[in-house]
Amino acid sequence: MKNIVIIGAGSMGSAFTLPCIDNKNRTFLVGTYLEDKLIDKIKKNHFHPVLKTKLPKRLTIEKFKNLAGIIKNADIIVGAVSSPGIDWFANILLKNYKKNHKIVLLTKGLSISKGKVITLTDKIKKIFTTNGIKNINISAIKGPCLAAELANRVRTGTVIANSKIKNAKYLQKIISTEYYSTEISNDIRGVELSGAIKNIYSMLIGASEGLSSSYIARNNEKKYYNNTAASLIHRSISEMSNFVKKFGGKSETVYGLAGLGDLYVSVIGGRNSQMGKYLGEGYLFKNAKRKFMKKTTVEGAQLAKEIGPTIFRKLKRKNFPLMFNLLNTICKNKKLNINW
């Protein structure tokens, strides 16, 4: 039995408590400093208001103010914060870090450091190195995992990535269950890159309903767009593979759970594809966000804004035409226009 501390009480962090608990680990769910009200709601009867399901009774739920006393005995610390909160998470780790701590990141995203695209685990490593701490044991878990399904123990497959495969195997034994199966990989950069950029490409594929043809009657577009979607999936996977290789990952990683698997889930049931649908219908991003998804986080749009300016400078449009089209749509608020 291990002590697992999950920081971030949102949907994914809360859902991840189930395989941890079901493996008989002592598991703590600690809210961020912004989640005190959410923690109060969950603690009443262990019911998560967003997931619409009860969390395990054996789960210990605490506010952020109690983190220091909990984390000192942790074996594994899991980051389930939003991508903009990674700096905050890294600094919290620094204040409470011990050499035996194993760090796991559920967050999907990328960052920019000195004009270069870097993964979130690389960002955390840089923050630690700047403060004199090297060689931290940090893993990333990615893959097609909708939080609401995991919270209901729906069969799920993910990949645990660590630069040292033995560390990934260690985690695999601790969190895998009959319904939560895990693969392992030492291509942590490729896994993180795949898990992040699929949010951009899921918006593009989601746009297929509106992009299918300007010649089809409006009332038929919802019926006839599968050919368009298939074409965009093919082109998206090709670009994703090239992107991952360009930034230091293995291109074949894109064809696994972190890439193709996660892309599929995002396209059929995610917020990114929903935004893509509006963009395909001709809405400008800002208008669509304000009209349809004002209070909804669209991870692909966040990522586009984060890496867009750097991508425009570092990459060539001819090699990543779909990505450039989407970045123009999000960063410059232009209509989505794909050159077929």
Q: What is the pLDDT of residue 218?
A: 57
Question: Could you identify the residue written with the tokens 């425009």?
Answer: 312
pLDDT of residue 210: 76
Residues 6+ apart with CB under 8 A from 170: 102
pLDDT of residue 338: 87
Q: Which residue has the tokens 């700047």?
A: 130
Angle (CA) 120-122-124 rounded to 5° is 70
The reply to whether 3-186 and 190-331 are identical in fold is no
pLDDT at residue number 340: 73
Other beta carbons less than 10 A from residue 337's beta carbon: 10
Domain segments of the chain as ranges: 3-186, 190-331
Terminal-residue alpha carbon distance, the chain:
55
Is residue 190 within 8 Å of residue 197, measured between CB atoms? no
Contact of 191 with 140, CB cutoff 8 Å: yes
pLDDT of residue 160: 98
pLDDT at 220: 59
pLDDT tens digits, 152-196: 999 999 999 999 999 999 999 999 999 999 999 999 999 999 999
DSSP E strands in the chain: the ranges are 3-7, 26-30, 47-48, 53-54, 60-62, 76-79, 102-105, 110-113, 116-119, 137-142, 156-161, 180-185
List, for the chain, all residue ranges whose pLDDT scores fall below the cut of 50. Answer: none
The domain over range 3-186 is classified in CATH as 3.40.50.720? yes
DSSP SS3 for 284: coil
CATH architecture, range 190-331: Orthogonal Bundle (1.10)
Determine the pLDDT at residue 178: 97
State residue 224's pLDDT score. 72
- The confidence score (pLDDT) of residue 219 equals 59
Specify the pairing of strand 76-79 against strand 102-105. parallel
pLDDT value of residue 230: 93
pTM comes to 0.94
Of 69, 131, 140, the C-alpha closest to 110 is: 140
